[in-house]
Amino acid sequence: MTQRALEVLAVGPLALIQDLGRPGFAHLGVSASGAADRSAFRLGARLLAQNLTHAAIEVLFGGLQVRAGVDVTIALTGAPAPATIDGRAVGHAAPLVLRADQTLRLGTPSAGLRTYVSVRGGIDVPATLGSRSTDTLSALGPKPLRPGDRLPVGPAPPDFPNVDLAPVRSPTSAGVVVTAHWGPRADWLADSDDLARGRWTVSSRSDRIGVRLDGVVLARDARRRGDLPSEGVVRGAIQLPPSGQPVIFLADHPVTGGYPVVAVVDDDGIDRLAQAVPGQRVALRLAAYPGKI
Amino acid sequence: MITAQQLRPCGPHAILVQLDDLAAVLALAATLRERPTPDLADVVDVVPGGETVLVTIAGTDLAGLRSALLRLNPVLPATNETAPEIEIPVHYDGPDLAVVAALAGLTVAEIVTAHTTIPWRAGFGGFAPGFAYLVDGDERLRLPRRSSPRTRVPAGSVALGGGYCAVYPRSSPGGWHLIGHTDLAVWDTDRDPAALIVSGATVRFRDVNAP
């Protein structure tokens, strides 16, 4: 095969095409979607000296194997999955050359959840509503990767990579502490201190829609009964369903919801939650906004 | 005019505006959609809800967004001005027609007449791409949901529930009463516009079998 493409030989639990998503269509009921860990995606693009419109492969918990049709330059960011090219170990957060007919294999990451395989030129599948991202809630965008898929690679961008290695910290295996700001329905909590005091673990039912937290049940204020009329929700929103087990929305969150949003995690926190594995501990730090809303 | 008390924090990139009713929601959403002033240039999404409008920005200048919102004078365009009008042809053959007739105390023929005579208006969406909650319409058709939802409602189904009417853009679970179906695609990513029914639009249903 001498196509300018990557051939998928094997897939672990899940592998999806992602870029920075399709913001601006919420009024049509379309969520922005995009890479769950946006800073890892951005780093991959910077290492390859290309802009953020170039789509990458988001690999859930390793396992991806791809073979190059022609020489390509790639980079691995996010969760550090042990990686080999034709059996030779290669590094993380560095531009790597994958020559024609060589195979990249990702093992299982020892920390973190999602590894981004970026390629110079980007994965050049057709875009839907301006983005190549797969939205797992609405099924918009490309289908999840399967063995046998041929992923076209776009033309190389004009600038050349000039960084050998980005010394970024791995996702942590210890507890994840994220910063959140009080949300629109913070007054639905029986005791606002419960949010900062709460200790949870990531549920195995978490996915790109949201991280579900098992642990402390957050009680609602006794005066707040029933649900809210549907209202818009944002990525990072901490939503309180009747069960009292919070959900923190990630990239494929629904556009509207009827459960109260008590706080919203900041961008850095969302990226780190996107790397939290089932069973990992999560705690929240609440901060007030400077100034008034 | 919007007051400061109506603005609720919603993270580093958004403000949720609390309003009194759907008319106020549609007025604000329609006004914001035009990005009427330069200080609203950073607005990414305007998401109407039942009683709220969520406004998101690309950056983090929430103070700027707050000022811009407080300076706005939201005006609802008269329905015969800029709101698009959409006609939806319907086969009134839904499995719940008889149940709906019984609930409303009408005959099936009267249900069809009620559904097609008074126009509906698209309030807000969000449930799925292309899905819009339709309001107004004949008030006798404001019905509760089914006691048990269906696991699969076919794409194009025309339904009544929760006080609203809607057309399901694709097959999904659904808890509303099905009164018919349309062959029109209310959602099509290969078409511009992808969504046929957007907030504020007037929607009229037409019985394909009417003489």
ipTM field: 0.94
Q: Which residues of B touch A291 (CB under 8 A)?
A: 62-63
| Distance (Å, whole) CA A206 – CA A211 | 5
Query: How near does any CA of chain A get to the CA of B146, in Å?
Result: 18
Give A65 or B82, the one with higher predicted confidence.
A65
Q: Which residues of A touch B9 (CB under 8 A)?
A: 181-184, 264, 289, 293
Give yes or no for residue A92 having a pLDDT over 90: yes
CA distances from B71 to A176, A205, B35, B175 (A): 40, 44, 13, 41
Q: Which residues of B touch A29 (CB under 8 A)?
A: 125-132, 195
pLDDT at A95: 97
Q: Would an 8 Å CB–CB cutoff place B64 in contact with chain A?
A: no
Q: Would an 8 Å CB–CB cutoff place B49 in contact with chain A?
A: yes
Query: How near does any CA of chain A get to the CA of B107, in Å?
Result: 32
pLDDT at B80: 45
Give B74 or A124, the one with higher predicted confidence.
A124
Candidates A28, A129, A265; nearest CB to B125: A28
Q: Residue range A151-179: average pLDDT?
A: 93
Find the largest Cα–Cα distance for chain B: 58
Q: Which residues of A touch B (CB under 8 A)?
A: 23-30, 32, 128-129, 138, 140, 181-185, 228-234, 236-237, 254-256, 261, 264-267, 289, 291-293
Q: Per the CB < 8 Å rule, is B129 touching A24?
A: no
Contact B125, B167 (CB under 8 A): no
Give yes or no for residue B33 having a pLDDT over 80: yes
Give yes or no for residue B204 having a pLDDT over 90: yes
Query: How near does any CA of chain B get to the CA of A79, in Å?
Result: 25
pLDDT digits (tens, 9 = 90+) for B122-177: 998 888 899 999 999 999 999 988 888 888 999 999 999 988 999 999 888 888 99
Token pair of B120 as six digits: 């509906």
Which 8-state DSSP code applies to residue A124? -
Q: Per the CB < 8 Å rule, is A291 touching B13?
A: no
Q: pTM value?
A: 0.92
Of the listed ranges A2-11, A116-125, A218-227, the one predicted with least confidence: A218-227
pLDDT at B187: 95
pLDDT at B199: 86
pLDDT at B45: 96
Give yes or no for residue A112 having a pLDDT over 90: yes
CA distances from B167 to A140, A218, B64, B159 (A): 19, 36, 38, 6
pLDDT digits (tens, 9 = 90+) for A217-262: 999 999 987 778 889 999 999 999 888 899 999 999 999 998 999 9
CA dihedral B149, B155, B159, B164 (to 10 degrees): 90
- Rounded to the nearest integer, the mean pLDDT of chain B is 91
Percent of chain B clearing pLDDT 90 (strictly above)? 73
Of the listed ranges A68-77, B107-116, B186-195, the one predicted with least confidence: B186-195
Candidates A29, A32, A229; nearest CB to B51: A229
| Distance (Å, whole) CA B58 – CA B13 | 7
